[in-house]
Amino acid sequence: MSLLDPSAPLPRLAIPEYAMALAHVASLRSEDPFRKVGAVALDFDNRVIGTAYNGLAPGYNASPEFWADRDARRSFMIHAEVNLCSLFTRGNVKLVACTTEPCTSCMQMLCAYGVREVYFHEAYPGSEARAICQKYGIHLHQILNSPELRFPTGV
């Protein structure tokens, strides 16, 4: 699907697809060369509360050597969901969309913040997110077909 093809009528995205498209754009800001994750939170009027991505703490500039060893740097990376939760308070979020399924810890945190709907694109091996959502009655849904943004040539 091309959203910016001038010859085609623009389809209106469903809210979860809209949120996922924003999460994908947010992921482009990640400095992690191995896994770029984006997330977005919408309020109960479907307004964007915030966008976030995985990365290092603000103001920390890592050397190129830091990025070379994926296993060594993992414990220093702040997940997109953690960064996102710093932007809102409990009970203010209708839904969260993440490019990657939340890990167990991030899903627990989203529960603690009262998030009732979570959408993701890519599955995350080893995550207990599905079991956590089932236990707490949270809607967890995978969106496989995310909108594709294409810009017309010559613009």
pTM of the model: 0.86
Q: Candidates 3.40.50.300, 3.40.140.10, 3.30.930.10, 3.30.70.20; correct CATH number of 15-142? A: 3.40.140.10
| Helices of type H across 28-68 | 64-68
Name the helix (H) or strand (E) containing 48: strand 48-53
Alpha-carbon gap, residue 135 to 130, rounded angstroms: 9
Alpha-carbon gap, residue 3 to 11, rounded angstroms: 7
Burial of 29 (0-12, 13-18, 19+ CB in 10 A): middle
**pLDDT (tens digit per residue) in 61-85:** 888 888 888 888 888 999 999 999 9
Cβ atoms of 6 and 53 closer than 8 Å: no
pLDDT at 3: 54
